[in-house]
Amino acid sequence: MKTVIKKIDASNMSSEDFKEAAELLRAGKLVAFPTETVYGLGGNAYDSTASARIYAAKGRPSDNPLIVHISEFSEIEPLVSHIPEEARRLSDRFWPGPLTMILDKSDAIPKETTGGLDTVAIRMPSHPIANRLIKEAGIPIAAPSANASGRPSTTKAEHVIEDLDGRIDMIIDGGSSDIGLESTIVDLTVKPALILRPGYITLEMLREALPDIEYDRAVLKRTKDENIVAKAPGMKYRHYAPKGDLTIFEGDIDAVSGTIKKKVLEKLEAGHVVGVLTSDELAKRYSDITNARFIHGGSNAGSKENADARVFIYDIGSRENEAEIAAGLFDALRFFDEIKAEFIYAEGFTEGGLGQAIMNRLMKAAGYHIVEV
Ligand code: TXA
Ligand code: MG
């Protein structure tokens, strides 16, 4: 299949830009598009064949339900059996935006879209291209993250091309996703409401609207073998994982950087290619490692120059700036695949607020391989 790449400038777009994409979606075909969180792989949410195509293109297990995207609140009505008051409250505060709500589904949504469940996940993205695409298509758009199953989610069109070129009909290139981590998922079919996946909309923000909301226990899990089943089916799979062996080091930052440096030198000695995921605060502590290449997140990330380097020190941003770390995390994990890192050592970040979402993704990427130093 030939994948059409279509550039759209959000600050200067017209209906004409969306004509082909909207026609493809109405015909049951697949179009990847930018959202404020990550890129989505869209198909007609009412069409079970389109959903089947999404699972096939991603190589995703078909029991892992898709999020249905809408462009205004009234579009929720045909998708759900009833609208709880909490949904209106959350919508007033956080939609359009990086929040997904789980509600009881109507019969109009096929089980293929919801991975066999009687509930449906719904989100109203704020990205102008996503919003316009849904409007122009005139149908709700089922869209998981636009990555090959198991790989880090995609925050740029180039990432989508890496994973899905030749497997889908179109990719809309609208630049980088600002937030960089997937939406917060809230289950409103239980009381109290539960956060199934942490994201940019934090527990603290949600409590202003729903004071008794809690994390689902699976969100707080910190080891692989804790026997807790995730309520969001997607959260139980190995996810976001780079190909190399990723370990997170937590504790006092002097001890963390000291231990990472020792590990790097050991692996270097044994002839391996090593990656370090670090911050502005700790990056300089690795400056005396010979043959290392320093990458500052976003800028020259992804370029393959200096092929002689065996150690790649990737500075993702300041520990004080969680939004910057969130926005660059998946790009960093993909970078380590590109340079074929065999071992990757990451410093842990502070949990709470947006840090909860950052550590949730990083711990999954590491298969919960966390070392306290
Ligand atoms: O930010 C986002 O949410 C992005 C953009 C494209 O909107 N989408 C996204 O979709 O991250 P995906 O498919 O990668 O993740 C959806 C998650 C999965 O963990 C899935 O199991 C869960 O949502 N989910 C979907 N429907 C559900 C349901 N009815 N009940 C529980 N979990 C559900
Ligand atoms: Mg995903």
pLDDT tens per residue, range 287-321: 999 889 999 986 545 455 566 789 999 999 999 99
Tell whether the model's pLDDT for residue 219 goes beyond 80. Answer: yes
Ligand nearest the Cα of residue 142 is 1
The domain boundary, picked from 220, 255, 278, lies at 220
Claim to verify: residue 68 and residue 124 sit in the same structural domain = yes
What's the pLDDT band for 203 if we cut at 50, 70, 90? very high
Q: Which of 139, 124, 160, 130 is nearest to 25 (CA)?
A: 139
Domain span at 17: 4-220
Ligand nearest the Cα of residue 235 is 1
pTM assigned to the model: 0.96
Query: Is 197 within a domain?
Result: yes
CA of 136 to the centre of ligand 1 (A): 23
Cα–Cα distances in angstroms (integers) from residue 74 to residues 7, 80, 85, 317, in the given order: 29, 11, 14, 40
Claim to verify: residue 200 and residue 320 sit in the same structural domain = no
Mean pLDDT score, 49-71? 96
Claim to verify: residue 34 and residue 127 sit in the same structural domain = yes
Mean pLDDT score, 56-72? 95
pLDDT for 29: 98
Claim to verify: residue 174 and residue 215 sit in the same structural domain = yes
Query: Is 229 within a domain?
Result: no
What's the pLDDT band for 123 if we cut at 50, 70, 90? very high
Which segments of the chain does DSSP mark as H helices, in order? 15-26, 48-58, 85-94, 128-137, 157-164, 203-209, 253-269, 280-283, 322-338, 354-365
Claim to verify: residue 287 and residue 153 sit in the same structural domain = no
Claim to verify: residue 61 and residue 202 sit in the same structural domain = yes
Mean pLDDT score, 126-144? 98
Tell whether the model's pLDDT for residue 222 goes beyond 90. Answer: no
* Ligand 1 pocket mutation pick from 145, 179, 184, 190 by most atoms within 8 angstroms of CB: 145
Contact 98, 183 (CB under 8 A): yes
What's the pLDDT band for 155 if we cut at 50, 70, 90? very high
pLDDT for 235: 72
What's the pLDDT band for 252 if we cut at 50, 70, 90? very high
pLDDT for 227: 73
Claim to verify: residue 61 and residue 206 sit in the same structural domain = yes
Ligand 1: nearest atom to the Cα of 231: 31
Query: Is 9 within a domain?
Result: yes
* Ligand 1 pocket mutation pick from 182, 190, 235 by most atoms within 8 angstroms of CB: 182
What's the pLDDT band for 167 if we cut at 50, 70, 90? very high
pLDDT for 240: 84
pLDDT for 234: 75
Claim to verify: residue 83 and residue 194 sit in the same structural domain = yes
Tell whether the model's pLDDT for residue 34 goes beyond 70. Answer: yes
- Measured from CB, residues less than 6 Å from any atom of ligand 1 are 35, 37-38, 40, 64-67, 100, 102, 114, 117, 119-121, 123, 125, 143-145, 182-183, 185, 196, 231-235
Ligand 1: nearest atom to the Cα of 143: 6
pLDDT for 297: 85
Tell whether the model's pLDDT for residue 360 goes beyond 70. Answer: yes
Could you give the 3-state DSSP secondary structure of residue 281? Answer: helix
Claim to verify: residue 211 and residue 251 sit in the same structural domain = no
Claim to verify: residue 266 and residue 366 sit in the same structural domain = yes
CA of 184 to the centre of ligand 1 (A): 9
Query: Is 146 within a domain?
Result: yes
Mean pLDDT score, 73-85? 98
Tell whether the model's pLDDT for residue 351 goes beyond 80. Answer: yes
Mean pLDDT score, 133-149? 98
Domain count, the chain: 2
Q: How many helices (H) and strands (E) does the chain have?
A: 10, 17
Query: Is 325 within a domain?
Result: yes
Claim to verify: residue 102 and residue 201 sit in the same structural domain = yes
Ligand 1: nearest atom to the Cα of 197: 19
Average pLDDT of the chain, as a whole number: 94
Tell whether the model's pLDDT for residue 280 goes beyond 80. Answer: yes
Ligand nearest the Cα of residue 239 is 2
Claim to verify: residue 200 and residue 93 sit in the same structural domain = yes
pLDDT for 307: 62
CATH code of the domain in which 336 resides: 3.40.50.11030
The domain boundary, picked from 186, 220, 254, lies at 220
Query: Is 259 within a domain?
Result: yes
- Beta-bridged to residue 80, according to DSSP, are 105
Tell whether the model's pLDDT for residue 345 goes beyond 70. Answer: yes
Tell whether the model's pLDDT for residue 335 goes beyond 90. Answer: yes
Contact 79, 122 (CB under 8 A): yes
Both tokens of residue 205? 């923000």
Ligand 1: nearest atom to the Cα of 123: 7
Query: Is 237 within a domain?
Result: no
CATH code of the domain in which 152 resides: 3.90.870.10
Mean pLDDT score, 160-171? 98
Query: Is 117 within a domain?
Result: yes
